[in-house]
Amino acid sequence: MRRFLGGLAVVLAAVAIAAPSRADNYDISRAQRYLAEGDLNNALSWINSAISSDSDFGAAYLLRASIWMRAGEYQRAVEDDSLAIEHGLDHSPYVYKIRGDAHAAGGDYAAAIADYEQALKINSSYWPALVGRGAARVETGDVAGALADLDRMLATTPSDLKETLGSRQVSELSQKGPPARGTQTMTVTTSAKLTLAVSYQARGKLRFIQGAYQPALADFDAALQLLPQAISVHFYRGLTLLALGRCADGATELRTPSIVNSFQTPTAAPYRAFLAAHRDAVSKAGCPPAPL
């Protein structure tokens, strides 16, 4: 189970990478295909080949970082996002935002907040970073700050956000690649639906922690209207139903194969910790322990 269904991180498969040299274009395309299929070993092999061919192409590090995120290797994702920044992508709020997601997934919320704030410094209206900061503030116990960010986001009706990285951002010319590399662009797209769902989940989690279970349930229901298959939302919703004394409904939600299977993976550690920290809420409601 990841921080969110797709990783409380935006997957680089949404990125259209402008044509690099022929060799690494093929490698990158294969890496993206294998990543989309969930074959992380082959995805990693092909992106490593691309980086070996052209170690100055920053976008390749972003793709490898997304593979590490899928594998639960969050520190390695941070390192590759940092390499992307070092290789010409230092003016992109998107890149700082996804590095913040990697920090947050690894539990380093102070570093995550610093990256989200750097993204907002570059673009003060970059709402994906606002949501990321709000979710991280939930984890640090900054209730006022979290609500300020999340309520602000949920009061808007955003559209999908596209960011084009032009030659200034991408132009660190490769010694191996074509000189035209410096004039190319790359476009990244952040889903408004996903980001709104993350916002509802984060606010619902905060309300659960505060003991406001009915408002928390409303937020989780709103998230699922946007992303019905979001595993992490189903987990928090099931736990909330137990805390409300709806024992059968909560147990049914938590017994779904997607949650049970996800709980067997290393990336489920934060969810297991949350469950352990809130067992009293379940027992006080008169429900048996969560069936996980």
Q: Indicate whether 2 pLDDT > 80.
A: no
pLDDT higher than 80, residue 9: no
Q: Of 133, 165, 162, nearest to 150 (Cα)?
A: 133
> How high is the pLDDT of residue 165?
58
| pLDDT computed for residue 23 by the predictor | 44
Extract the tokens encoding 21.
């040299």
- For the chain, residues classed under CATH 1.25.40.10 are 12-124+159-190
CA distance 210 to 216: 9
Which of the following CATH numbers is that of domain 12-124+159-190: 1.10.260.40, 1.10.10.10, 3.40.1160.10, 1.25.40.10?
Answer: 1.25.40.10
CA distances from 43 to 47, 49, 87, 233 (A): 6, 10, 21, 28
Comparing 278 with 184, the larger pLDDT belongs to: 278
As a whole number of angstroms, the distance between CA 78 and CA 34 comes to 21
pLDDT category, 82, cuts 50, 70, 90? very high
Average pLDDT on 242-246 reads: 97
Residue 125 clears pLDDT 90, i.e. is over it: no
- Give yes or no for residue 62 having a pLDDT over 90: no
Q: Which helix (H) or strand (E) holds 165?
A: strand 161-165
Q: Dump pLDDT digits (tens) for 191-214.
A: 888 899 999 999 999 999 999 999
